[in-house]
Chain A
Amino acid sequence: DSGVTQTPKHLITATGQRVTLRCSPRSGDLSVYWYQQSLDQGLQFLIQYYNGEERAKGNILERFSAQQFPDLHSELNLSSLELGDSALYFCASSPPAGTEAFFGQGTRLTVV
């Protein structure tokens, strides 16, 4: 158990809908990263937050947004969902003075 908690584990929704994925980082970790893993693309970096502030942005679509709250949990919002958004979504967290990044078990999103 990495200590990073993601909910829900599985999500099935229809095209055009909006979903919210939640991540609770390890205790004391200030950085949260979101990644998307689809079958043919590998793990793609979406966005990073550090202590509530956006730190870096990767290949995140405009239909996707994220935020990190004062209690350091983070949410990834996916809207106007398309079939191609079906993927595993992982979050990871890092301690403020460390290099390690620990991943949660992911949310498997299926868009039908």
Chain B
Amino acid sequence: QKEVEQDPGPLSVPEGAIVSLNCTYSNSAFQYFMWYRQYSRKGPELLMYTYSSGNKEDGRFTAQVDKSSKYISLFIRDSQPSDSATYLCAPREGSQGNLIFGKGTKLSVKP
């Protein structure tokens, strides 16, 4: 089993839809859970991160972690065509630990 599993998609939604992106992981030592957005193989851009279990909201984005089930989610409200990108989850053990990336989910938001 890979350390981080993520459905590669592609996921296609209409503009304005709520998008749910998910990852599962196997290492119970992960404490920090990062979400990155990557456009056309440019450098990954940090969207947000959470520490341990719980929710965190930032504008249209909400990150959710359930450590009991080792499940990570990112929700995007009112999705826009500019949200079309690949979304990568990346948990890490400590605040300075290396990031373990999922393969990413490719999202397409249609106008």
Contact = CB atoms under 8 A, between A and B. Distances in A.
Interface of A: 2, 4, 31, 33, 35, 37, 42-45, 48, 50, 55-56, 58, 88, 90, 92, 94, 96, 98-106
Nearest to B8: A42
Interface of chain A: mostly helix, strand, loop or mixed = strand
Q: How large is the interface on B (under 10, 10 to 19, 20 to 34, 35 or more residues)?
A: 20 to 34
B27 to A, nearest CB: 13
B17 interface: no
B43 A106 contact: yes
B29 to A, nearest CB: 13
A33 B99 contact: yes
Contacts of A37: 41
Q: B41, B43, B95, B101 — which one has the most chain A CB atoms within 10 A of its CB?
A: B43
Contacts of A98: 95
Contact of A42 (B32, B45, B46, B101): B101
Interface string B72-111: 0000000000000000101000011111111110000000
B34 interface: yes
Contact of B32 (A4, A55, A56, A99): A99
Nearest to B98: A45
9 contacts: A35-B99, A37-B41, A42-B103, A43-B90, A44-B101, A56-B98, A98-B95, A101-B34, A103-B46
